Amino acid sequence: MRKIIIGIGGMTNGGKTTLSTNLLEVLPNSFVISQDIFFKDDSMVPVDSNGFKEYDTLDALHMDRMMSDIESWQKDPESFMSSRGLRVTSTGSQKPSVFALIVEGFLIFNHGPLNVLFDKRFFLEIPYSTCKERRSSRTYVPPDPPGYFDGYVWPMYLKNRKEMDDAVNDIVFLDGTQKQEELHSRVLADMHEILIVLQS
Ligand SMILES: Nc1ncnc2c1ncn2[C@@H]1O[C@H](COP(=O)(O)OP(=O)(O)O)[C@@H](O)[C@H]1O
Ligand SMILES: O=C(O)c1ccc[n+]([C@@H]2O[C@H](COP(=O)([O-])O)[C@@H](O)[C@H]2O)c1
């Protein structure tokens, strides 16, 4: 049995969830773990000197819990999926030969212990104006206060991005303004290559 872990990183609103959901639909025996669901409760997130909640750091996330879920998948992907109500697809009487885990999130490559687990890393980039526009039509819990994007989110993106660029060099950058179908085909083609290598 082969296991493949793909990282779909990217800027806020870069299209990570959309791309991951599209991949999930076509990849048999795949599962998506999203970093977003590991945000700490608002009461645990401190406020910076400008009064903005510091959500865009690894400290705002339960990374220990996220790692523990990924470890469970690594130990036994089949049980991991069935314990979440998902059936494993087999060919005839044969057990599936490949399981794929897609890990998506805005800080997945900034966490060293997670970053080392990826067989392939993708990062969705969009221009500042697209990012600001997409973000303004999204409602988080809690919602972004006035000035949050320019006063906190964008400066933190630049900081986190620099840290990632300094520490990780094996990333395929994707233009998140491309059509969803193009992004989907590009990632599938790259994954296909890895699967061939893994199966040989
Ligand atoms: N390739 C794309 N082209 C145009 N809009 C997109 C594309 N991918 C995602 N979007 C839109 O951008 C917004 C953010 O997408 P989402 O997948 O939730 O981003 P993320 O998970 O990176 O925050 C959504 O409104 C989504 O419909
Ligand atoms: O999901 C949450 O609990 C949450 C609460 C407050 C803010 N967020 C924002 O979620 C962003 C990362 O998620 P995403 O999907 O935009 O990449 C990050 O920029 C945070 O500011 C997310």
115 Cβ closer than 6 Å to some ligand 2 atom: no
Burial class (CB in 10 A: 0-12, 13-18, 19+), 120: middle
Does residue 138 contact residue 12 with C-beta atoms inside 8 Å?
A: no
- Probe ligand 1: pick from 17, 18, 125, max atoms within 8 Å of CB? 18
12 Cβ closer than 6 Å to some ligand 2 atom: yes
Ligand 2 atom 16, closest CA:
12
Q: For residues 98 and 148, which has the higher predicted lDDT (pLDDT)?
A: 148
Query: Closest Cα to residue 114, out of 60, 160, 55, 71?
Result: 71
ipTM over 0.95: yes
User: What does the alpha-carbon distance between residue 62 and residue 59 come to, in Å, rounded to a whole number?
Assistant: 8
pLDDT (tens digit per residue) in 140-192:
999 999 999 999 999 999 999 999 999 999 999 999 999 999 999 999 999 88
Q: Is the pLDDT of residue 200 over 80?
A: no
Query: Closest Cα to residue 16, out of 151, 187, 165?
Result: 187
Quickly state the pLDDT bin for 131 (edges 50, 70, 90).
Answer: very high
Q: What domains does the chain contain, in order, with CATH numbers?
A: 2-199 (3.40.50.300)
Contacts of 35 (CB under 8 A, 6+ apart): 61, 66, 103, 104, 105, 106, 107, 108
Q: What distance in angstroms lies between residue 160's CA and the mean position of ligand 1's atoms?
A: 20
Half-sphere exposure of 182 (CA within 13 A, CB side): 7
36 is catalytic: yes
Say which of 36, 42, 59, 150 is annotated catalytic. Answer: 36
In this structure, the number of other CB atoms found within 10 A of the CB of residue 45 comes to: 16
User: What does the alpha-carbon distance between residue 188 and residue 35 come to, in Å, rounded to a whole number?
Assistant: 21
pLDDT (tens digit per residue) in 22-55:
999 999 899 999 999 999 999 999 999 999 999 9
pTM for this prediction: 0.96
- For residue 137, the ligand 1 atom closest to its alpha carbon is 25
140 Cβ closer than 6 Å to some ligand 2 atom: yes
User: What does the alpha-carbon distance between residue 47 and residue 29 come to, in Å, rounded to a whole number?
Assistant: 41
Task: Determine the pLDDT at residue 198.
Answer: 64
Query: Closest Cα to residue 109, out of 173, 68, 163, 188?
Result: 163
13 Cβ closer than 6 Å to some ligand 2 atom: yes
Ligand 2 atom 15, closest CA:
12
Q: What distance in angstroms lies between residue 178's CA and the mean position of ligand 2's atoms?
A: 22
Ligand 1 atom 6, closest CA:
15
